[in-house]
Amino acid sequence: MMALGTFLLFAPLLIVSANQALIYDADCNDANIFKAVDVALKSYNAENVYGNLFILHRITDARIQPESDGVLRNFVDYEIREGACNVKSGKDWKECNLFSTKLAVKKCSAHVLLNRQLNTSEIIFQSCSGPIHASVTGEAVGSLKSADPNDTVVLEMVQLSIDRMNKLGNHPFHFSLEKVLNAWRQVVSGWNFQINYTIRQTNCSKRHFKNASSEECSFDINGQSGKCSSQVHWTLQGQFDITEMTCTSDSGVCLNCPNAIENNDPELLNLLMQFIDEYNVNNSHPALYKISKVVTATEEGSHPKQYEVEFEMKETNCSKAEYAILGEECDFIDSQTFFECEVKMIVTKETVAHSHVCFETKNASI
């Protein structure tokens, strides 16, 4: 009896040991293991109602227990990080990029049952621990925090902004990103991003290239450079909306304005010279005036062609009694007073018609 009792006492332990022997280590690259992690991670993401999807960082441990009828019990440990796709975007986590390389990982353990014959799955157990969404935690609505300039989301927003600038502006060549200077994000209904960056002209003309992503496109060392500022709203649906953008070349030209032209455009300067000569003839001031600075200029149409120009002009040392028109010897006098002017010129093959308004001001910039 004693021997029988001892056998009965240890029989359950023998059965457990036999079952445990069926569990063996698996390769983390095994297709079944990846499928189990995919099922577990999708389930975890589905439980989140705000923030971003998490994406797989790495699988750290994996074990398999085969059963009859094509059933596999998968025991997996894996790590995840916050992705760049919103939970409401409808995307699969595998479609998402990493939100930031600086985010800490979150560790998960899961027991997933896969039935290969029926092509079904069931999560028996899952537990995840670690930091939650960095894009939400610790950031009150309206607060402004710095963002990583090299973050994939920031770079994607910048590229979208540059693509729009290249499409809107009338510069004959494409521009590409040179460097992201800084970036901030603000929690609202979604996120607002403020990004400042520099751009540089490429050797790819808009006439021959649809965009600047071609392998043939590179920076033109003799081309223009510029600075840009973009405000982008990242919606709860995971979409980007460029709410404001300004890009200005080093020469002061608006690169995202459809009709902007260079301030030193030869045709423009010739028309302004005609305007200033006519202005000097018709005003009652005893001295001649000269344009000191072209601020902005736009050109639209072809026949007729319309120019709108903002400029500054100052008095020179040439009097009307001695000079009929401006000459190279006419220089600006030392004065704090100058005129700010806006002129509209309509140019046809036969005539140049213009209208203008000028305001006297002080503290000249030149």
pLDDT, tens digit, for every residue of 91-121?
Answer: 999 999 887 665 667 899 999 999 988 899 9
Which residues form the domain of 166? 144-249
CA distances (Å), origin 302, targets 43, 248, 255, 347, 348: 60, 25, 20, 9, 8
Q: Which of 190, 221, 249 is the last residue of a domain?
A: 249
- Predicted pLDDT at 316: 94
Q: Tell me the pLDDT of the chain averaged across its residues.
A: 84
Question: By CB neighbour count within 10 A (0-12 exposed, 13-18 middle, 19+ buried), where does 261 fall?
Answer: buried
Output phi, psi for 328, to 5 deg.
-65, -25
Residue 190 domain-assigned (yes or no): yes
Residue 312 domain-assigned (yes or no): yes
Residue 227 domain-assigned (yes or no): yes
- Predicted pLDDT at 128: 86
Answer yes or no: pTM beyond 0.85.
no
Residue 332 and residue 278 share a domain: yes
Residue 238 and residue 156 share a domain: yes
Residue 6 domain-assigned (yes or no): no
Cβ(276)–Cβ(314) under 8 Å?
no
Say which CATH number the domain at 156 has: 3.10.450.10
Q: Which of 217, 249, 281 is the last residue of a domain?
A: 249
pLDDT class for 137, splitting at 50, 70, 90?
A: very low
Residue 183 domain-assigned (yes or no): yes
Residue 7 domain-assigned (yes or no): no
**Total domains, the chain:** 3
User: Does position 184 have pLDDT exceeding 70, yes or no?
Assistant: yes
Q: Round to whole Å and give the CA distance between 270 and 268.
A: 5
Residue 338 and residue 231 share a domain: no
Taking CA 145 as the corner, what is the angle to CA 139 and CA 148, rounded to the nearest 5 degrees? 120
Helix (H) or strand (E) holding 201: strand 190-205
Residue 135 domain-assigned (yes or no): no
Residue 245 and residue 182 share a domain: yes
User: Does position 17 have pLDDT exceeding 70, yes or no?
Assistant: no
Q: Which of 94, 129, 164 is the last residue of a domain?
A: 129
Rama region for 303: left / alpha / beta (φ>0; ψ in -120 to 50; rest)? beta
pLDDT tens-digit map of 234-275 = 876 667 889 999 999 988 888 988 888 888 888 889 999 999
Cβ(220)–Cβ(173) under 8 Å?
yes
CA dihedral 37, 43, 47, 48 (to 10 degrees): 50
CA distances (Å), origin 153, targets 58, 181, 270: 21, 15, 46
